[in-house]
Amino acid sequence: MNPFITIKELKLKLERKEISAAEVRAFYTDRIKKFNPDLNAVLEIFESNESTETGPLAGIPGLLKDNICQKGHITSAGSKILANYQAPYSATVTTRLQEAGAELIGRANMDEFAMGGSGEFSAYGPTKNPWDAQYIPGGSSSGPGAAVAAGLVPFAIGSETGGSVRSPATFCNLVGMRPTYGSISRFGIVPFASSLDQAGPLTRTVYDNALVFSALAGKDANDSSTLQREPKDYTAGLDGKLPKNLKIGIIREALEAEGIDPEVRNVFDNAVNQLKSMGATISVIDIPNLKYGIALYFIISRAEAASNLYRYDGTLYGVRSKEAKTLVDMYLNTREAGFGTEVKRRILVGNYTLSAGHRDAYYDKAQQIRAMLRAEFEAVFANVDLLISPTCPILPWKINALIDDPLAMWLSDYFLVSNCITGTPALAIPGGFAQNGLPIGFQFLGPSLSEELLYKVAHAFQENTDYHTKYPKGYE
Amino acid sequence: MATFTKQELLHIATLSALKLEESEVAVFTEQINTILTYVDQLAPVVIKPVDQDIRNVNVFRDDVAVKKDRDAVQAIAPEVDEGYFVVPTILEEK
């Protein structure tokens, strides 16, 4: 079987009984065993399956990022502090996929607590990019990205706080959806920054992505921040055509940002021209406060992370340091032994911006500018249907190249964080390749609840291009 | 504007229940200074009132008692004794 088969094609094979679900599962499990030692994308393979045998994803294997609880299995969030945390319940993402028939075959590596954009910050070692193992695969959903790209699984679920699905999608030549905040339940997903966190699928095609998203989206009684979205088949409108009179905006501030790699710019320009030739009207629009996106993201995400991560103290679950005579010692030693450097740094920044004397200047001010940015996005979408931008301003970098320069690494999230702050959706798709052979992507951004339109436009783009049909060498 | 000092770092570390190695103190002080200098670009931004179209509504669940499985939760705890979570001494003897 072709390991890079799409879910759409695999579904047909299963329905025609050309192959059984057990054979499919064994096929991908064997591939993980063969290729994972080089990639470190998968942390554990599960032998048993708890899914129903019918449903829109019946027999389709998938991997979940290691911060999504799968009952009875370890959910470590890429951290030593949760190394022994055996989830006593399943996330809503997990149960919805199981109800849709998907075979959940393991858990995928990630940057510790989803903090990182490169896959280098897992306590279980860095994940490699299948396109070139010297390079980062993007993160924090590094394992989900590398695994789908290498054909170890047809889909994986990642999570985003500030671009963590779209980053590996871009660096691994995949499709990654960051849906409207509240589309997918956060119940059972290890929290990082609660006002930003959203799960999203990673797949090889837009159609497959829409199919998986259809199983995930919707109201959940266990997460009061979920939106009242009726269950819907998001593949229904994918006819390979752009909607009539589609208006797409290019953000002027994004194009004029410093530090865009010429090869990224080239891919972006080609995508714009392609869409023009397909009938879209392109205009340049302004979002003046976009330039503050990274600064807003730094403050809001670190502050919420510092609060969320206070719970890891060794009392109720997780790894407790044995070297403690008093309760306070237990807290300190547990956190010292359990957290990596990046996590500590973020907790410190977060608590500083929340601390007495600084909260007004940092956290409260950031929330006020966040409201202004949200209003600017809303105003823009009164004039255009979608926006288009690069996903990452630079190419994937070599493992360890930016490890001592956290600011430079975080600035690579320039195009990823703004819509997370505004809560609006974005879909990253493949757009071409650099001279060194590594993939380059771009993204569409839409107003709240525009997932159907995003999928329709991106699917039409894929029907007219072949970037998404390319696979890394050596994984046939 | 940002001058984040070693003393501030140590204070925040205490508030964060984090111990820092001597080697981390100098590195974190410098790195956090860089980060705070970067986010200081927000300081001069003039806040304009935004006419926010708030569509959020309160979400309530039915006020009913739900039985949870205590054993399943305690099965993954570091130390339990007859239904209680066990921790080290809370107050030190003088």
**Distance in angstroms (rounded) separating the CA atoms of residues A318 and B79:** 11
Is pLDDT above 60 for A133?
Answer: yes
pLDDT on residue A418 = 96
CA distance A2 to chain B (A): 41
pLDDT on residue A228 = 87
When scoring A346, A348, A362, A407 by the number of chain B Cβ atoms within 10 A, the one with the most, hence best to mutate, is A348
**Overall average pLDDT of the A140-145 stretch:** 98
Q: What percent of chain A has pLDDT over 70?
A: 100
- In this structure, which amino acid lies at residue A170? T
Do residues A44 and A87 make contact, with C-beta atoms less than 8 angstroms apart?
no
Grade residue A141 by pLDDT with cuts at 50, 70 and 90.
very high
**Overall average pLDDT of the A222-249 stretch:** 95
**Overall average pLDDT of the A461-466 stretch:** 98
φ and ψ of B65, to 5 deg: -70, 135
| Chain B residues near residue A361 by CB distance under 8 angstroms | 43
Do residues A148 and A203 make contact, with C-beta atoms less than 8 angstroms apart?
yes
Per-residue pLDDT tens digits for A113-131: 999 999 999 999 999 999 9
The answer to whether A299 contacts B28, with C-beta atoms less than 8 Å apart, is no
φ and ψ of A387, to 5 deg: -115, 160
Is pLDDT above 70 for A111?
Answer: yes
**Overall average pLDDT of the A123-141 stretch:** 97
Closest CA to A397 of A387, A385, A411, A383: A411
Q: Using CB atoms, pick whichever of B15, B19, B28 lies closest to residue A355.
A: B15
pLDDT on residue A456 = 98
Residues facing A441 on adjacent strands: A430
pLDDT on residue A347 = 98
A33 has catalytic annotation: no
pLDDT on residue A433 = 98
pLDDT on residue B87 = 95
Residue with tokens 């993980």: A32
Per-residue pLDDT tens digits for A3-39: 999 999 999 999 999 999 999 999 999 999 999 999 9
Is pLDDT above 60 for B1?
Answer: no
Is pLDDT above 80 for A82?
Answer: yes
Write out the H or E segment, with its range, that includes residue B80: strand B80-81
Closest CA to A426 of A177, A249, A192: A177
The answer to whether A325 contacts B88, with C-beta atoms less than 8 Å apart, is yes
**Overall average pLDDT of the A68-75 stretch:** 97
Is pLDDT above 80 for A409?
Answer: no
Is pLDDT above 70 for A307?
Answer: yes
Grade residue A323 by pLDDT with cuts at 50, 70 and 90.
confident
More confident residue, A394 or A403: A394
Is pLDDT above 60 for A389?
Answer: yes
Written in H, E and C, the secondary structure of A340-354 is: CHHHHHHHHHHHHHH
φ and ψ of A427, to 5 deg: -125, 120
- Interface contact A88, partner B, CB < 8 A: yes
When scoring B33, B87, B90 by the number of chain A Cβ atoms within 10 A, the one with the most, hence best to mutate, is B87
Closest CA to A329 of B74, B84, B91, B81: B91
**Distance in angstroms (rounded) separating the CA atoms of residues A123 and A460:** 40
Q: What is the CATH number of domain A7-249+379-469?
A: 3.90.1300.10
More confident residue, A78 or A402: A78
pLDDT on residue A53 = 80
Helices vs. strands in chain A: H and E counts, helices first: 15, 11
Per-residue pLDDT tens digits for A249-298: 998 877 777 788 999 999 999 999 999 999 999 999 999 999 999 999 99
Grade residue A216 by pLDDT with cuts at 50, 70 and 90.
very high
**Overall average pLDDT of the A412-426 stretch:** 95
Q: Count of CB atoms within 10 A of residue A336's CB? A: 16
Q: What percent of chain A has pLDDT over 90?
A: 91
Is pLDDT above 90 for A239?
Answer: yes
pLDDT on residue B90 = 85
pLDDT on residue B89 = 86
Mean confidence (pLDDT) of chain A:
95
**Overall average pLDDT of the B16-21 stretch:** 95
pLDDT on residue A412 = 84
Q: Using CB atoms, pick whichever of A86, A347, A361 lies closest to residue B16.
A: A347
CA distance B51 to chain A (A): 8
Cα–Cα distances in angstroms (integers) from residue A330 to residues A145, A204, A319, B32, in the given order? 36, 45, 11, 26
| Chain B residues near residue A296 by CB distance under 8 angstroms | 42
Q: Using CB atoms, pick whichever of A319, A325, A348 lies closest to residue B32.
A: A348
Catalytic residue among A140, A142, A183, A418: A140
pLDDT on residue B2 = 64
In chain A, domain spans: 7-249+379-469
| Chain B residues near residue A330 by CB distance under 8 angstroms | 87-88
Write out the H or E segment, with its range, that includes residue A441: strand A439-445
Q: What secondary structure letter does DSSP report for A113? A: G
**Distance in angstroms (rounded) separating the CA atoms of residues A24 and A31:** 11
**Overall average pLDDT of the A153-176 stretch:** 98
Is pLDDT above 90 for A169?
Answer: yes
**Distance in angstroms (rounded) separating the CA atoms of residues A156 and A174:** 11
**Distance in angstroms (rounded) separating the CA atoms of residues A282 and A272:** 8
pLDDT on residue A229 = 83
Do residues A65 and A141 make contact, with C-beta atoms less than 8 angstroms apart?
yes
φ and ψ of A386, to 5 deg: -140, 165
**Distance in angstroms (rounded) separating the CA atoms of residues A38 and A267:** 29
Q: Which of residues 162-191 of A touch B (CB under 8 A)?
A: none
Cα–Cα distances in angstroms (integers) from residue A449 to residues A133, A464, B19, in the given order? 37, 25, 44
